[in-house]
């Protein structure tokens, strides 16, 4: 039996938990573990966009910690909060320029859903239904769970009757709006790439039609770009292609070096709370919102993103991955797909992935398959040789099956 001590681990049946990887340090693309130095193909749940221990970000955080490690945001402000919100407003498209900080991606989604609901309450025209997608994942807080669609994550909890989940097709989208469009307060999507739902990828034409229908019916369109933002799809933001009313950012927001998130609303949404009535105010306030250390990390991360041409690096990763996966269709593999720094090898039978994590570690790669996919969400600093190592290990799992018995 694994000695787990007093820790309660995420997404794990503790009774049957395997021994965890013991990480003693990390640098660049590598985690230093009790099983050797491993290339982290997951970017630590998709957040370490520049790899581990980026010296510039670490230095900015350390310097800030010695000046002002934290201060609440209740009628208080500090330079980092102003500077980072200004920079986000500058780089985001449209009028996405009203920044509400929080401490995790799930909370940023919760905030966006509250904004979408209260907007109509403030207009004295309440709507309560929400449109979401099948295979969606938006976080683990209660309302964020309800707009997700994954029994593996949220099966213990009842479905919310006010949330409609549709497949990612324009036909289903149009049908949903035709039936209930005037009842929706919000529509929420992971644009272009559905992460925890199975690394499912789709075309921007769906977003374009969603934008048109949301405008027609007055529905607030929310993008959950916690995972997809900052180049992960090969675009700086999916919002650059089709602009939403609210965008949720997290993970790579701080270069992955400290937890933080932002929910950014456009002028239309913000104006719905601008009032002489206190009851119209947005009553939400995380203790650690706009934490100064996180703001320092975020500002430095944005600087690095632009200076180091991160988007071009991610597009190069996509090119290499597609080349390496081209024509790979062994027995047991249903499909391969790639977008930006993300890729997936989908199994026909999820049971065929049992044991892959240990196999990968034996070959120098940390991997975390889930549902029916082997996947990578690679850091922008990864080399071509390292990409090939990650993909070769995944391929070998299929091509060497007979040799493993």
| Burial bucket for residue 402 (CB in 10 Å: 0-12, 13-18, 19+) | exposed
Q: What does the alpha-carbon distance between residue 371 and residue 349 come to, in Å, rounded to a whole number?
A: 10
Is 368 in contact with 357 (CB distance < 8 Å)?
A: yes
Q: What does the alpha-carbon distance between residue 329 and residue 336 come to, in Å, rounded to a whole number?
A: 8
| Burial bucket for residue 232 (CB in 10 Å: 0-12, 13-18, 19+) | buried
| Cβ neighbours around 318 below 10 Å, total | 18
| Pick from 158, 308, 200, 184: nearest CA to 245 | 184
Active site amino acids: 11, 137, 224, 251
| Cβ neighbours around 142 below 10 Å, total | 12
* 239 contact partners, CB below 8 Å, separation of at least 6: 92, 93, 94, 96, 191, 223, 225, 247
Q: Checking DSSP bridges between strand 98-102 and strand 129-133, what pairing results, if any?
A: unpaired
Q: What does the alpha-carbon distance between residue 308 and residue 302 come to, in Å, rounded to a whole number?
A: 10
* 35 contact partners, CB below 8 Å, separation of at least 6: 21, 361, 362
Q: What does the alpha-carbon distance between residue 154 and residue 106 come to, in Å, rounded to a whole number?
A: 14
Which residues lie across from 366 on neighbouring strands?
40
- What is the 3-state secondary structure of 208-228? HHHHHHHHHHCCEEEEECCCC
């Amino acid at each position: 039996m694994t000695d787990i001590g007093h820790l309660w681990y995420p997404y794990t049946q503790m009774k049957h938990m395997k021994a965890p990887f013991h990480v003693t340090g990390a640098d660049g693309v590598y985690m230093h573990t009790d099983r050797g130095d491993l290339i982290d193909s997951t970017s630590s749940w998709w957040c370490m966009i520049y790899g581990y221990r980026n010296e510039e970000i670490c230095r900015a955080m350390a310097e800030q910690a010695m000046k002002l490690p934290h201060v609440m945001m209740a009628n208080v402000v500090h330079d980092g909060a102003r500077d980072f919100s200004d920079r986000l407003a500058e780089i985001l498209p449209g009028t996405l320029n009203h920044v509400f900080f929080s401490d995790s991606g799930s909370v940023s989604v919760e905030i966006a859903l509250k904004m979408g609901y209260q907007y109509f309450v403030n207009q004295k025209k309440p709507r309560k239904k929400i449109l979401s997608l099948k295979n969606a994942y938006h976080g683990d807080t209660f309302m964020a769970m309800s707009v997700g669609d994954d029994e593996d994550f949220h099966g213990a909890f009842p479905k919310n009757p006010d949330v409609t989940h549709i497949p990612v097709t324009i036909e289903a989208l149009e049908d949903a709006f035709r039936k209930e469009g005037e009842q929706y307060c919000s529509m929420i999507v992971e644009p272009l790439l559905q992460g925890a739902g199975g690394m499912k990828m789709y075309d921007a034409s769906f977003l374009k039609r969603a934008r048109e229908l949301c405008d027609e019916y007055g529905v607030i369109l929310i993008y959950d770009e916690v995972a997809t933002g900052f180049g992960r799809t090969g675009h700086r933001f999916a919002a650059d292609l089709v602009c939403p009313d609210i965008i949720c950012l997290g993970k790579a927001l701080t270069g992955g070096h400290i937890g933080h998130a932002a929910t950014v609303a456009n002028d239309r949404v913000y104006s719905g709370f601008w009032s002489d009535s206190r009851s119209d105010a947005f009553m939400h306030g995380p203790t650690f919102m706009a934490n100064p250390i996180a703001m320092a990390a975020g500002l430095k991360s944005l600087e690095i993103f632009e200076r180091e041409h991160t988007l071009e690096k991610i597009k190069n990763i996509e090119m290499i991955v597609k080349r390496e996966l081209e024509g790979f269709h062994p027995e047991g593999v249903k499909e391969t797909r790639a977008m930006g720094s993300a890729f997936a090898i989908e199994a026909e039978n999820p049971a065929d992935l049992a044991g892959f994590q240990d196999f990968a570690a034996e070959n120098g790669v940390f991997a975390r398959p889930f549902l029916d996919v082997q996947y990578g969400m690679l850091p922008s600093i990864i080399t071509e040789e390292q990409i090939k190592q990650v993909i070769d290990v995944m391929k070998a799992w299929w091509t060497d099956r007979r040799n493993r018995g």
